Amino acid sequence: MTTQPEYTETELETLRQAVIMSGHAVVFCEFAIVSMGIEIATLGKEITGAVEKHPDSQLIQTLFAKYANGKEPQEKEEPQTEVSPDAILESAVSLIRKALAILEKKATPAEIQEYKEFTYGCANSVAHAAGEGLFGIGDKVSKKEAATLNVLKTTLGL
């Protein structure tokens, strides 16, 4: 069983950010104001509900306890980075790779699989949250979202 002292705060933040950026990669793969709002809200619900949905996962508990019950921690100011769909997806892929490298050294195979599935599940929930198009009334998962999910799934080794 994984416990927090096995991870540095920097490692924990990398693990958290890989999940969050994976969701953002789906949200920002195409621009649609209404859909983006719904998808961002869905990602927030996935993150804030993680502790409740995964009560037996020490890793998920450790990573997302501070987000439980909608209590998002105060984020520190990050330097501005390019905000294009490709840049966000590239950042998500890079963070996933870093996260998996951390987990390979410190987590059990079951915890690694659970983390992979949780990360992909969050992104998948975002993709299914709203439909395609300006008002989100088209197909639930657009071609761009499906392509983004495929990249994430491949990177996660699922």
User: What pTM does this model have?
Assistant: 0.87
Q: For the chain, give every domain's residue range.
A: 7-68+83-156
Torsion of CA 60, 147, 82, 65, to 10 degrees: -10
Say what percent of the chain tops pLDDT 90. 68
Tell me 72's DSSP state: P
- Ranking 11-15, 40-44, 137-141 by mean pLDDT, the lowest is 137-141
Residue 111 clears pLDDT 70, i.e. is over it: yes
Region for 78 from its dihedrals, namely left if φ exceeds 0, alpha if ψ lies in -120 to 50, beta otherwise = beta
Query: Is residue 30 very low, low, confident or very high in pLDDT (cuts 50, 70, 90)?
Result: confident
Residue 88 clears pLDDT 90, i.e. is over it: yes
Rounded distance between C-alpha atoms, residue 84 and residue 131, angstroms: 21
Rounded distance between C-alpha atoms, residue 16 and residue 100, angstroms: 12
Residue 124 clears pLDDT 60, i.e. is over it: yes
Closest CA to 35 of 138, 150, 148: 138
- pLDDT at residue 136 in the model: 55
